Amino acid sequence: MGDNDCSPDSCCYNVMIRGFLRNNSTSKAAQLLTEMVGKGFSADIFTATLFMDFIIHSNRSVLL
């Protein structure tokens, strides 16, 4: 995205995080969350809900 002068917004980050979580790629989702916050976007209620839903549905504990 960045190579084409198209910067992701918080919605794009949330969509990508959701995709990683649906494919059980929790480390990639966490890395993306760190990148998102590092670029000045807030982890909002939608972001939190993605991680909470993952934890609830997978019966796992995720440490970020």
Please determine, for residue 1, whether its predicted confidence score (pLDDT) is greater than 60: no
Q: Give CA 27 to chain center in angstroms.
A: 10
pLDDT of residue 12: 94
Whether 62 shows a pLDDT value over 60: the answer reads no
**Over the stretch 16-48, which tens digit does the pLDDT of each residue have?**
999 999 998 999 999 999 999 999 999 999 999
**φ/ψ bin of 44: left (φ > 0), alpha (ψ from -120 to 50), beta (otherwise):** beta
pTM metric for this prediction: 0.79
Q: Which residue from 41, 42, 61 is spatially nearest to 51, judged by alpha carbons?
A: 61
Q: Does the structure show a pLDDT above 70 at 64?
A: no
pLDDT of residue 6: 78
